[in-house]
Amino acid sequence: MSIVITISRQLGSRGSYIATAVAKRLNLRYIDREILNRAAEIAGYPDEAMVAQLENKERVPGFLDRFLIAMNSLPMIPTIASATLREGYTYDEKVATLMLQESIGRDEALLRRQVEHERRVEASESYTELMRQVIQEYAQVGNVIIVGRGGQVLLHDHANVLHIRVMAPKPLRIQRLVERLGLDAKEAEKQINQSDKERARYLKHFYDVAWEDPDLYHMVVNTGKISVDLSTHLISEAAQRLGHTMAL
Q: Which of 152, 199, 168 is nearest to 5 (CA)?
A: 152
Write the DSSP string, 29-71: EEE-HHHHHHHHHHHTTTSHHHHHHHHSGGGHHHHHHHHHHHH
Confidence (pLDDT) at 58: 45
Q: What is the mean pLDDT of the chain?
A: 79
Residue of 178 and 49 predicted with greater confidence: 178
pLDDT in tens, 50-96: 545 555 554 555 777 888 888 888 888 877 666 655 555 444 555 55
Task: For 4-247, give the CATH class.
Answer: alpha beta
pLDDT in tens, 183-192: 889 988 988 9
Domain residue limits, the chain? 4-247
Report field, pTM of the whole predicted structure over 0.85: no
Band (98; pLDDT cuts 50, 70, 90)? low
3-state secondary structure of 218: coil
Asked which of 19-23, 73-77, 146-150, 240-244 is least confident by mean pLDDT, the reply is 240-244
Residue of 45 and 21 predicted with greater confidence: 21
| Rg of the chain over all Cα atoms, to the nearest angstrom | 18
Question: Does pLDDT of 8 surpass 90?
Answer: yes
Q: Which residues lie closer than 8 Å to 100 by C-beta, 6 or more apart?
A: none
CB atoms within 10 A of CB 177: 23
Confidence (pLDDT) at 113: 58
Confidence (pLDDT) at 101: 61
Question: Does pLDDT of 228 surpass 70?
Answer: yes
pLDDT in tens, 31-44: 988 888 888 777 77
Q: Which of 25, 11, 29 is nearest to 75 (CA)?
A: 29
Phi, psi of 149 (to 5 degrees): 60, 25
Residue of 109 and 150 predicted with greater confidence: 150
Confidence (pLDDT) at 247: 52
**Mean pLDDT, rounded, for 181-205:** 88
pLDDT in tens, 124-179: 567 777 788 888 888 988 899 999 888 899 898 887 899 999 999 999 999 998 98
